[in-house]
């Protein structure tokens, strides 16, 4: 995952300057490649700026993902350190039964 920071230096008077932080799985080794990612993004959305509600949703999703990742990491470590610990210490009955079926 790479991040492209696109900031408008000389925005038209009265217009809010572009300030984007774009996440991309495209490899970028040059300014030209980063500019191509920005161009793709503008074509995809058909907009000049990123609506603030999308940025807020992304922040919320990343926060949830961080919590989930920490929980998975914790469960993995416990599984290695205490392999005989019963699963109901960490999971409710409905949770471990659903995981068992999966």
For residue range 22-69, list pLDDT tens digits in order.
988 888 999 999 999 888 887 765 555 556 667 778 888 888 999 989
Residues 99 and 80 in one domain: yes
- The angle at the Cα of 78, spanning 81 to 84, to the nearest 5 degrees, equals 70
Residues 57 and 31 in one domain: no
pLDDT at 15: 85
Residues 39 and 19 in one domain: yes
Boundaries of domain holding 32? 1-50
The answer to whether residue 6 scores a pLDDT higher than 80 is yes
Q: Count how many domains the chain has.
A: 2
Share of the chain above pLDDT 70, in %: 90
Residues 101 and 57 in one domain: yes
Q: Which helix (H) or strand (E) holds 16?
A: none
Residue that finishes a domain, picked among 10, 32, 50:
50
DSSP conformational letter for 71:
H
Residues 3 and 36 in one domain: yes
| Entry pTM | 0.42
pLDDT at 4: 92
């Amino acid at each position: 995952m790479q991040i492209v920071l696109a900031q408008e230096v000389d925005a038209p008077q009265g217009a809010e300057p572009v300030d984007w932080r774009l996440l991309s799985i495209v490899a970028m080794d040059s300014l030209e490649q980063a500019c191509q990612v920005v161009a793709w993004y503008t074509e995809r959305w058909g907009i000049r700026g990123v609506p603030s509600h999308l940025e807020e949703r992304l922040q919320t999703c990343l926060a949830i993902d961080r919590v989930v990742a920490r929980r998975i990491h914790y469960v993995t470590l416990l599984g290695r350190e205490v392999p005989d610990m019963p699963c109901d210490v960490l999971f409710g009955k409905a949770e471990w039964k659903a995981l068992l079926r999966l």
